[in-house]
Amino acid sequence: MKIIVGNWKMNGDNEDKEILLKALKNLRTKNEVVVCLPFTLIYGNNHGITIGAQDISEHDNGAYTGDISGQMLKDADVKYVIVGHSERRLYHNETNTIVKTKAMAAIKNGIVPIICIGETSEEKNTGRTNSVVKKMLLESIPGQGEYIVAYEPRWAIGSGKTPTEDEIKAVFETIHKALHNIGRDDVALLYGGSVNGKNAKQIMNIPHVDGVLVGGASLKSDTFLPIIKSID
């Protein structure tokens, strides 16, 4: 089974949610489809679609104004949470250590963290993709529990640019090996960054790619559904 995760980021309203989730409900797929909504849209009628969040606090509860805890997400029936998305790392200074703590908070509450890693264009252009990704991976993953890893090159997010098949293959090989070496062959690996209905199938056929993380194209059914259908 493949995993297709939509990340709405800070977009959409109740009407958009209603339209997309209803369209997903009518779609027959053997794969797992998850929509990671903004916090305000998580409650309400989700039409049986698996819902994810886009961030989680490291803490269980207390004086952390504006934060949302794993307990709260659990209470809202959230199954997955994105942690360490490059936009959180960039705009909220989230380090690998913070990402790891957030992943642990999710696992503790029975939520599967989707841990994001990926190199900048500068790191790519200086030939450091594999070493950067491996370091981010090993410093961001918890020692135990169920989690997913999403490889998202920062320069590919929202840019319409994607790495070549060979480049994706090499990075997934690196991630797979690093996880294998610590006995974690069970971890699902996603690719993210400018996934669309035209490139999804090709990306999914690359060894060790178990699914995709989709930003912009997950907002509307006419761009999200073709991705899901192409993978089925």
| Contacting positions for ligand PGA (CB under 6 A) | 7, 152, 157-158, 192-195, 213-217
Structure tokens at 11: 């977009």
- Residue keyed to tokens 């980021």: 9
Is 152 assigned a catalytic role?
A: yes
Least distance between ligand PGA and beta carbon 213 (Å): 5
Which residue of the set 58, 85, 119, 176 is catalytic? 85
Decide whether 72 or 213 has the Cβ nearer to ligand PGA.
Answer: 213
Q: How far is the CB of 176 from ligand PGA (least distance, A)?
A: 20
Q: Which is nearer to ligand PGA, 157 or 178 (CB)?
A: 157
Per annotation, catalytic residue among 94, 119, 123, 152: 152
Three-state secondary structure call for residue 124: helix
Question: Which CB atom, from 112 or from 195, has the smaller least distance to ligand PGA?
Answer: 195
Work out how close the CB of 27 gets to ligand PGA at its nearest, in angstroms, rounded to a whole number. Answer: 19
- Give 198's contacts (C-beta < 8 A, 6+ positions apart): none
Give 152-183 as a 3 state SS string: CCHHHCCCCCCCCHHHHHHHHHHHHHHHHHCC
85 is catalytic: yes
Could you give the residue numbers annotated as active site? 85, 152
